[in-house]
Amino acid sequence: MLKSIKTYLVLAGGCFLLSTACKSPAAKNENEQDKILKSLPFAALTDSIRQFPREAGLYFRRGDLLSRNDRHEIAAGDFKNAWDLHPDEETGLRYASTLSILNKPAEAIKLLQDCMQKFPANDAFKKLLGEIYTQSGQTEQAMKLFDSMLDADSANFEAWYEKGLLLEQTRDTAGAIAALKKAWSIQPVNTYAMELAHIYAESRNKIALQLCDEVIRKDSAGELTDPFFIKGIYYSNTKQYNTAIIQFDSCIHRDWKFTEAYLEKGIALFKQKNYEEALKIFRMAATVSNTDPDAYFWIGRCYEAGNKKEEAIQYYQRAISLDKGFTEAREAIRRIKE
């Protein structure tokens, strides 16, 4: 009798362990999700949904709250439920945006195409679809979409702007400038001016300075950093490094956390072969943003320039640890070891 009981307990324990070990990842995720939804600040809405499971607005409100707490995967499920129960425009946009955040372009595109059929007067769906096409590398589809929007309304400044960004991405500089100039002429906002100025700066065109100065004149609060940064890029590209440094210092004075300004200032010093000062600036960049691989890469460049090979390799490896695809850092290590 005692033996049979012992055998039963062993078998029961084994079955329990087996069932626990074999629990599927989906089941574990469901349990974790259930815990989150029953915790603050979601618990009240979860209780309401339990009472009124056909109320679309409750799912939308909980999805919105989940999104604001970076719980996008769970939020997508709530937005889907809200959409299935009551497919309105706001829900469609939030659901599609969440799918985009989760890097699910195919699902987002299908949903947006459905939304465009249901709500043809709402250009927000087309705009978001164009952005998702662009982000997912479907440039041909994105261009066709923007052109169709402009055929319908040639004064659609947002479509001109998005088309300009797409042309810039495909390295059609002349086309990008033309599209962005059109957007800016229709709606002269700082965003369009700065994007246009940046292309001019990279092309070493002085028009970049004119656009930046115009934006600076309108900045009564004296808070903008982008125009100074872009002027710095122009001066650096035209090898006027000391003038460039003055512009980057203006950025840092207005925003001491502006990592890119430190990096570009350091690069300007590096190109002047002032490696000691450049190293100080790159170290500051790494302090401001200790997860920026470029800061460590350039620290490595400074050490390599000073023939401190071991230190250089150490910082190149640090850059790679933060960005596995940092080809230049890998090539630098290979160069040193050879």
Q: Residue 187 has what DSSP assignment? A: S
Contact 235, 243 (CB under 8 A): yes
Does residue 129 lie in a domain region?
yes
Domain boundary among 87, 113, 136: 136
Burial pattern 68-98, b for ≥16 Cβ within 10 A else e, equals: eeebbebbbbbbbbbbebebeeebbbbbbbb
CA dihedral 65, 66, 68, 72 (to 10 degrees): -150
Residue 332: C-alpha distances to residues 12, 51, 282, 328, 335 (Å): 60, 62, 17, 6, 5
What letter represents residue 233's amino acid?
Answer: I
Rounded to 10 degrees, what is the CA torsion of 327, 330, 335, 338? -140
Q: For residue 309, which of 333, 292, 277 has the smallest C-alpha distance?
A: 333
Alpha carbon 256 to its chain centroid, in Å, reads 21
- Has residue 248 been placed in a domain? no
Domain limit, last residue, from 77, 109, 136: 136
Q: What is the pLDDT of residue 269?
A: 98
**277: CB partners within 8 A, 6+ apart:** 269
Collapsing DSSP to helix, strand or coil, 324 comes out as coil
Domain span at 122? 41-136
Residue 237 forms part of a structural domain: no
Does residue 210 lie within any of the structural domains? no
Q: Can you give the CATH number for the domain in which 64 is found?
A: 1.25.40.10
- Preceding omega of 41 cis (within 30 degrees of 0): yes
Q: Residues near 293 by Cβ (< 8 Å), separated by ≥ 6?
A: 318, 319, 320, 322, 323, 326, 329
The Cα-based distances of 256 to 24, 262, 287 in angstroms read 48, 9, 11
Phi, psi for 55 (deg, rounded to 5): -95, 105
Residues in the chain: 338
Cα of first residue to Cα of last residue in the chain, in angstroms, is 76
> Is 163 a domain residue?
no
Q: Is residue 198 part of a domain?
A: no
What pTM, to 2 d.p., does this model score? 0.78
Residue 21 in domain: no
Residue type, 85: L
Let me know if 264 is exposed, middle or buried by CB neighbors in 10 A (0-12, 13-18, 19+): buried
Which tokens go with 74?
């769970």
H-helix segments, the chain: 2-21, 25-37, 43-51, 56-68, 72-85, 89-101, 105-118, 123-135, 139-152, 157-169, 173-186, 190-202, 207-218, 226-237, 241-254, 259-271, 275-288, 293-305, 309-322, 327-337
Mapping DSSP onto H, E and C, the string for 95-112 reads: HHHHHHHCCCHHHHHHHH
Prior bond to 53 cis, omega within 30? no
Count up the domains in the chain and report the number. Answer: 2
User: Is residue 165 assigned to a domain?
Assistant: no
Show which of 95, 118, 136 is a domain's final residue.
136
Tens place of pLDDT for every residue, the chain, 338 residues? 444 444 444 444 454 444 445 556 656 677 899 999 999 999 999 999 999 999 999 999 999 999 999 999 999 999 999 999 999 999 999 999 999 999 999 999 999 999 999 999 898 999 999 999 998 999 999 999 999 999 999 999 999 999 999 999 999 999 999 999 999 999 999 999 999 999 999 999 999 999 999 999 999 999 999 999 999 999 999 999 999 999 999 999 999 999 999 999 999 999 999 999 999 999 999 999 999 999 999 999 999 999 999 999 999 999 999 999 999 999 999 999 98
